């Protein structure tokens, strides 16, 4: 296999992976939008939640758009390499370049507007705590979704167990906290147990810690994707020039 054939195979394999990844992301995006009972749908219904949150909760549409874009990129890359189509290869290069520029711009925006994101989460935290104290233990949907979230993440409340003080559940159970806030227990517990040294942390601090602990991994993955995009653009241009020169 010559150098030209190797480049074609690499383009086909790489873009085949992109195509499959796009199909998976598209499927997840459709599932998020169809599943009306998902946590994203629930969070969007919390009273007094910041208006900016509605944009964040459109992640389903974002996933559908990203999945569709990856499908197009993968298709153009594979077909362009197999059929030796300069038009497809050039279109592939342009789309990947636009995506790369958008990613760089997005990273800059995230860094610049990080304080605004922290303020948004603070506002949302206030609304989430109010939701717990108003509906937890009274509204089956609210109670069930918070229970599912706390069981899955092994957390208690949004910030901590004090979020439940004054809630219908707290008042109906003689001022005790849900079992999810009680380490090793399957029944409601009092403040002494909930505030013990082995107390379960809130869901928001746990998610934040998870992100902070994996910042290096996230950055490494982002850099890896950027490197792959640069390599894909380089390979597509080399193939484009080789095919163009043979045609001439």
14 plus 74 within the same structural domain: yes
What local confidence, expressed as pLDDT, does residue 154 receive? 86
Domains identified in the chain, total number = 2
58 and 26 within one domain? yes
- Does residue 224 fall inside a structural domain? no
Position 14 pLDDT exceeds 80:
no
- Are residues 11 and 104 located together in one domain of the fold? yes
Confidence (pLDDT) at 136: 93
> What would the mean pLDDT of 59-88 be, rounded to a whole number?
81
Size of the chain, expressed as the number of residues it contains:
248
Q: Which residues contact 51 (CB under 8 A, 6 or more apart)?
A: none
Whether 83 and 37 map to the same domain: the answer is yes
Q: What is the pLDDT of residue 39?
A: 54
pLDDT band for position 58 (50/70/90)? low
Q: How confident is the model at residue 16 (pLDDT cuts 50, 70, 90)?
A: confident
Q: Which domain holds residue 169?
A: 136-206
Query: Would you say residue 75 lies in a domain?
Result: yes
pLDDT of residue 167: 93
Average confidence (pLDDT) over 185-199: 70
pLDDT tens, residue by residue, 209-229: 877 787 788 778 777 777 877
Q: What is the pLDDT of residue 169?
A: 92
The mean per-residue pLDDT over the stretch 152-173 comes to 89
Mean pLDDT of the chain: 78
pLDDT of residue 2: 65
CA angle at 194 for the pair 188 and 198, rounded to the nearest 5°:
125
Cβ proximity of 235 and 11 under 8 Å:
yes
Q: Are residues 108 and 183 in the same domain?
A: no
Cβ-based neighbours of 225, under 8 Å, separated by 6 or more: 103
State what percent of residues in the chain have pLDDT above 90. Answer: 6
Structural tokens at position 126: 């206030």
Does 212 reside within a domain? Answer: no
158-174 b/e (C-beta count within 10 Å ≥ 16 → b): bbbbbbbeebbbbeebe
Say if residue 203 is exposed, middle or buried (CB neighbours under 10 Å; 0-12, 13-18, 19+).
buried
State CA 221 to chain mean position distance: 14
Residue 248 pLDDT exceeds 60: no
Is 93 within a domain? Answer: yes
The pLDDT score that the predictor gives to residue 13 is 79
**Alpha-carbon distances of 79 from 15, 75, 88, 213, rounded to whole Å:** 9, 6, 7, 40
Whether residue 217 lies inside any domain: the answer is no
What CA–CA distance (Å, rounded) separates 39 from 153?
13
Whole-prediction pTM value? 0.62
Q: Would the pLDDT of 76 be above 80?
A: yes
């Amino acid at each position: 296999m010559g150098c030209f054939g190797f480049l074609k195979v690499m383009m086909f394999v790489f873009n085949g992976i992109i195509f499959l990844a796009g199909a998976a992301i598209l499927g997840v995006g459709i599932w998020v939008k169809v599943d009306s009972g998902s946590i994203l749908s629930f969070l969007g219904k919390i009273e007094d939640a910041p208006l900016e949150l509605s944009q964040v909760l459109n992640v389903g549409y974002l996933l559908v758009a990203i999945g569709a874009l990856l499908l197009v990129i993968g298709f153009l890359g594979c077909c362009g390499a197999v059929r030796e189509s300069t038009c497809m290869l050039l279109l592939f290069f342009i789309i990947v370049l636009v995506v790369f520029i958008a990613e760089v711009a997005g990273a800059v925006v995230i860094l610049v507007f990080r304080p605004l994101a922290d303020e948004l989460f603070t506002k949302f935290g206030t609304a989430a705590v109010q939701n717990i104290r108003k509906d937890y233990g009274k509204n089956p949907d609210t109670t069930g979704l918070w229970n599912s979230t706390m069981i899955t993440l092994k957390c208690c409340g949004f910030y901590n167990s004090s979020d439940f003080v004054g809630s219908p559940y707290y008042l109906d159970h003689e001022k005790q906290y849900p079992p999810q806030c009680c380490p090793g227990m399957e029944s409601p517990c009092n403040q002494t147990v909930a505030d013990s040294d082995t107390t379960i942390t809130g869901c928001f601090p746990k998610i934040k810690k998870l992100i902070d602990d994996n910042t290096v991994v996230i950055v490494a993955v982002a850099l890896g994707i950027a490197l792959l995009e640069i390599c894909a653009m380089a390979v597509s241009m080399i193939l484009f020039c080789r095919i163009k020169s043979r045609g001439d």
